[in-house]
A and B are shown apart, each in its own frame.
Chain A
Amino acid sequence: MTVKPIAGGRGGAATAALPRSRVSPARGLGGLLEDERSLAYLLLAPTALILTMFIAYPFLRGVWLSVTSATVGDPGDYVGLKNFEKAWNDTIFHRAAVNTFVYTGVTTVFKLAFGMWLALLLNREFRAKRFARAFILLPFIIPTVLSTLAWQWLFDPTFSVINWCLWQLGLITQRINWLGDEYLALVSIMIVNVWRGVPFYAISLLAGLQTINPELQEAAAIDGATPRQRFWKITWPLLLPVTMVVVLFSVIQTFADFQLVYVLTRGGPANATHLFATYAYQIGVGAGLLGQGAAISLALFPVLLVVVIFQLWYIRRTETV
């Protein structure tokens, strides 16, 4: 309620900036469509409808589950923050937390770097670029479950092609136990995640690159800017809005990654590769403890929320500048 006058003020500013946007309501539907505010709500209506219909309830239900002792088939009782407390003291949860942060952080850096690089390469003229651009997407197109099965074979201690190549090149004398080693197992799932994610970054950034006016680049080149300078002074800042959104989405998806680990290691060996999602699934679905499972998967929701709100605010700020 207290927001209203401020909002009104902002609306006024908009009117001042674009005098045509306020039209007399007498013009009916046309007027409605010319009014910024009503048009905006109209345009947002389908989205709002679908999201409230299908997300609002499940989300509230999930939050409610996390504060109950619910198990499958039993709604349970309200237990306050007990589930969160239990997770807090759980050694496997700690491991999953560390894994998730490392996994998300490391893969995001690699995906962004490789994705940007690849986008810049693909933005050039070369033969068959159309097919290169489309086929580069294959790792992202193929159903994760199936590509992960293929990776399972590539990492398999008995059959690993990777080991064979390294061995033929004389780099190793003994096999590398990709998925069996405590640390290499995490590295392995990160490799698969990067493999899957690079095309997504590359193609979204490529689309962004294409909206950048090439004249800017040419003008800078004439002024004697090096390619590096041109990248950091022109391409990067102009691409920043798209980059931020892409990174944000990718971070959230990686943070909640499930299928990859579920197929490759199920969190093994000895919980070395558990992530929040796989552990929550194991507790919620595997052991039927819905309350605890929900608590585990929601444990970091507040943290994520703060990060996202901050980042969204930052994106909007950089855009208006």
Chain B
Amino acid sequence: MDAKRINRRQFIKVSGATAAVAATGLEGVLAARRAPAYAQGVTLNMVRWADFVPASDKLLRDEILPKAEKALGATIKLETINANDIQPRITAAIEGGGGPDIIMTQHNWQHLYEKGVVDVTDVAEKIGKAQGGFYKQSRDVAVSGGKFIAVPWSVVGLMIAYRKSWLAEEGAMKFPATWEEYRALGKKLKAKGRPIGQTMGHTFGDAPAFAYPYLWSWGGAEVDTNGKVVLNSKETLESVEFMVGFWKDAHDEGGLAWDDSSNNRAFLSGTICATLNGASIYIESLRKPDQYKTDKGEQLKTDILHATLPKGPKGQFAYHVPFSHMVMKYGKNQKLAKDLLLWLGTRENFDPWFVSQKGFSVGTTTDWEKHAIWKEDPIMLPYRDAARLGRAPGFAGPPNAKAAEVQTKYILTDIYAKAIQGMAPADAVKWAEGELKKIYG
């Protein structure tokens, strides 16, 4: 028995190996042998956020990176941490002169760390060119002075998740196209105890992802293309005045206290009719279909649809959260780190990860809109080309360190929060303008 079992195990092993050789062919073997000599015995450390989709982290750790290890001939260690905790890690690493070779960023963080990172233009351009070109937002946040300071990785789309049946009850078969319509509809819904949910607190994702495009859609902006502060305008004031009424009429007033996770909870518990969010609400409702029910006892997942933020007087905008990877300057294996990013970014290696995200993250280039995954679930379809509308923080100026400072101080969110809390809109705008001028000088 024993001998037989061993034999069988050996057989499986051998046949597995032959299968692998057969699958990758001669080229694969050659590629493996060609693994650069400088990579032998080297360990690359990589830090990313703990992905909203745990399966993607598992895939990366158990399948994609081991493959990359073979291709590059190096050991790769992946560490995942809570997104909010990445910045102190980057700061300590750069200042301390050592740490992970590759670190993931969100938003336009790389502009804060420009002096600590390596130029990755060659890698990024190769990926962008091969895959139909980067979205404007993805490119903008990763480029400084004509050079890529990080390699764009993905974009987490933020759209409004809403309750199909509740909107239909008010006669809205389609999601409102303008702020005015959205407010009128929200007013009716709030009267029934089904308000719109939106955070106005200090949160990483949802607050700026609403406040920025909302301001832009009215024609307001923090700076013009020359970097001059132009916030104190008629358009900005209008947007603030409208927001105050909009909040009272249609929003859940608890929103001032919310963090990024609060609206997920409120939506899943059936207290709000719509909220701007990543696809995480819908995906969570898919994951645990029996835990989340509608008031009629149906599975909540059947009552969710997605829509873009409504249009303002000056157009329609969005802010999606871009993710990129920086290669750190203190690293001893920069070339290898760049090779890894190129390897991960190529179509066939990125594909399984992209699929595992199920639309929560979209690609940074237009080619990924053509992916077969978009045919699977019509509810996720709106995310497909969401990133096209996205602009980077700092718009209409560049998304540089100053823009990052504005975002970090939550100034554009707080104009609205202050006005909602009772400050005169004109004063709130003036206050924000003062703060912006101190930053932009």
> Which A residues form the contact surface with B (CB < 8 A)?
71-74, 86, 89-92, 152, 155-159, 175, 177-182, 185, 265-271, 282-290
A177/B435 contact (C-beta < 8 A), A156-B262, A158-B266, A269-B421 known: no
Chain B residues whose C-beta falls within 8 Å of the C-beta of A180 in the assembled complex:
201, 253-258
CB distance from B158 to the nearest CB of A (A): 19
A73 pairs with B114, CB closer than 8 A? yes
Cα distance A156–B201 when bound, in Å? 13
Contact of A287 among B115, B404, B418 (CB under 8 A): B404
CB distance from A211 to the nearest CB of B (A): 41
B408 pairs with A90, CB closer than 8 A? no
Instruction: Identify the interface centre among B255, B257, B418, B431: most chain A CB within 10 Å of its CB.
Output: B257
B257 pairs with A177, CB closer than 8 A? yes
A288/B258 contact (C-beta < 8 A), A92-B435, A266-B202, A282-B408 known: no
B421 pairs with A157, CB closer than 8 A? no
Cα distance A282–B94 when bound, in Å? 17
Cα distance A2–B254 when bound, in Å? 65
Q: Which stretch of B70-78, B83-91, B165-173, B336-344 is in the interface?
A: B83-91
B271 pairs with A269, CB closer than 8 A? no
B409 pairs with A282, CB closer than 8 A? yes
A267/B257 contact (C-beta < 8 A), A158-B265, A158-B269 known: no
A158 pairs with B254, CB closer than 8 A? yes
A91 pairs with B408, CB closer than 8 A? no
The answer, yes or no, to whether B57 is at the interface (CB within 8 Å) is no
Chain B residues whose C-beta falls within 8 Å of the C-beta of A181 in the assembled complex:
256
Chain A residues whose C-beta falls within 8 Å of the C-beta of B202 in the assembled complex:
265-269
B409 pairs with A287, CB closer than 8 A? yes
Chain B residues whose C-beta falls within 8 Å of the C-beta of A178 in the assembled complex:
257
Cα distance A269–B410 when bound, in Å? 10
Contact of A159 among B87, B269, B435 (CB under 8 A): B269
Cα distance A268–B114 when bound, in Å? 28
A177/B253 contact (C-beta < 8 A), A158-B271, A266-B201, A269-B201 known: yes
Cα distance A271–B200 when bound, in Å? 11
Chain A, Cβ-Cβ closest to B262:
A156
The answer, yes or no, to whether B28 is at the interface (CB within 8 Å) is no
Chain A residues whose C-beta falls within 8 Å of the C-beta of B257 in the assembled complex:
155-157, 177-180, 185, 265, 269
CB distance from A189 to the nearest CB of B (A): 12
Nearest 10 Cβ contacts at the A-B interface:
A157-B254, A268-B202, A180-B256, A179-B257, A73-B115, A180-B257, A73-B116, A288-B112, A286-B408, A266-B202
Cα distance A283–B91 when bound, in Å? 12
The residues in B between 68 and 126 inclusive whose CB is less than 8 angstroms from any CB of A are 87-88, 90-91, 94-95, 112-116
CB<8 Å pairs between A and B, sample of 24: A72-B90, A72-B94, A72-B115, A72-B116, A73-B114, A91-B431, A155-B257, A156-B257, A157-B258, A158-B269, A180-B256, A181-B256, A265-B201, A267-B202, A268-B200, A269-B201, A269-B257, A270-B414, A270-B417, A271-B410, A282-B409, A285-B88, A287-B401, A290-B91
CB distance from A265 to the nearest CB of B (A): 7
The answer, yes or no, to whether B259 is at the interface (CB within 8 Å) is yes
B262 pairs with A182, CB closer than 8 A? no
The answer, yes or no, to whether B252 is at the interface (CB within 8 Å) is yes
A287 pairs with B408, CB closer than 8 A? yes
The answer, yes or no, to whether B193 is at the interface (CB within 8 Å) is no
The answer, yes or no, to whether B54 is at the interface (CB within 8 Å) is no
If over half of A's interface residues share one DSSP class (helix, strand or loop), that class is named, otherwise mixed; here it is: loop
Cα distance A182–B422 when bound, in Å? 10
Contact of B417 among A175, A177, A268 (CB under 8 A): A268
Chain B residues whose C-beta falls within 8 Å of the C-beta of A271 in the assembled complex:
410, 414
Q: A175-B254, A179-B201 are in contact. List 10 more A-B contacts (CB 8 A).
A: A72-B112, A72-B113, A72-B116, A91-B434, A158-B266, A182-B421, A265-B202, A268-B202, A283-B408, A288-B112
Cα distance A175–B254 when bound, in Å? 9
Chain A residues whose C-beta falls within 8 Å of the C-beta of B203 in the assembled complex:
266, 268
Chain B, Cβ-Cβ closest to A274:
B202
The answer, yes or no, to whether B238 is at the interface (CB within 8 Å) is no
Chain A residues whose C-beta falls within 8 Å of the C-beta of B417 in the assembled complex:
268-270
B91 pairs with A268, CB closer than 8 A? no
The residues in B between 380 and 434 inclusive whose CB is less than 8 angstroms from any CB of A are 401, 404-405, 408-410, 414, 417-418, 421, 431, 434
Chain B, Cβ-Cβ closest to A284:
B91
Chain B, Cβ-Cβ closest to A157:
B254
Cα distance A107–B259 when bound, in Å? 25
Cα distance A180–B251 when bound, in Å? 13
Chain A residues whose C-beta falls within 8 Å of the C-beta of B253 in the assembled complex:
157, 177, 180
Cα distance A208–B345 when bound, in Å? 63
The answer, yes or no, to whether B438 is at the interface (CB within 8 Å) is yes
Chain B residues whose C-beta falls within 8 Å of the C-beta of A92 in the assembled complex:
409, 435
Cα distance A157–B253 when bound, in Å? 9
Cα distance A296–B410 when bound, in Å? 18
Chain B residues whose C-beta falls within 8 Å of the C-beta of A157 in the assembled complex:
252-255, 257-258, 262
Cα distance A158–B255 when bound, in Å? 10
Instruction: Identify the interface centre among B200, B203, B258: most chain A CB within 10 Å of its CB.
Output: B258
Cα distance A179–B256 when bound, in Å? 7
CB distance from A82 to the nearest CB of B (A): 12
Instruction: Identify the interface centre among A156, A180, A270: most chain B CB within 10 Å of its CB.
Output: A270
Chain A residues whose C-beta falls within 8 Å of the C-beta of B434 in the assembled complex:
91
A288 pairs with B113, CB closer than 8 A? yes
A269/B256 contact (C-beta < 8 A), A72-B95, A158-B262 known: yes
Instruction: Identify the interface centre among A178, A181, A266: most chain B CB within 10 Å of its CB.
Output: A266
Chain A residues whose C-beta falls within 8 Å of the C-beta of B408 in the assembled complex:
282-283, 286-287
Instruction: Identify the interface centre among A152, A288, A290: most chain B CB within 10 Å of its CB.
Output: A288
Instruction: Identify the interface centre among B88, B115, B202, B408: most chain A CB within 10 Å of its CB.
Output: B202
The residues in B between 230 and 282 inclusive whose CB is less than 8 angstroms from any CB of A are 252-259, 262, 265-266, 269, 271
Cα distance A148–B167 when bound, in Å? 36
Chain A, Cβ-Cβ closest to B252:
A157
CB distance from B295 to the nearest CB of A (A): 15
Contact of B115 among A74, A91, A159, A265 (CB under 8 A): A74
A73 pairs with B87, CB closer than 8 A? no
Cα distance A321–B167 when bound, in Å? 76
Chain A residues whose C-beta falls within 8 Å of the C-beta of B114 in the assembled complex:
73
A73 pairs with B94, CB closer than 8 A? yes
Chain B residues whose C-beta falls within 8 Å of the C-beta of A185 in the assembled complex:
257
Cα distance A268–B413 when bound, in Å? 10
Chain A residues whose C-beta falls within 8 Å of the C-beta of B90 in the assembled complex:
72
A86/B438 contact (C-beta < 8 A), A71-B401, A177-B253, A265-B202 known: yes
Cα distance A179–B417 when bound, in Å? 13
Cα distance A266–B407 when bound, in Å? 13
B91 pairs with A288, CB closer than 8 A? yes
CB distance from A222 to the nearest CB of B (A): 56
Cα distance A134–B52 when bound, in Å? 38
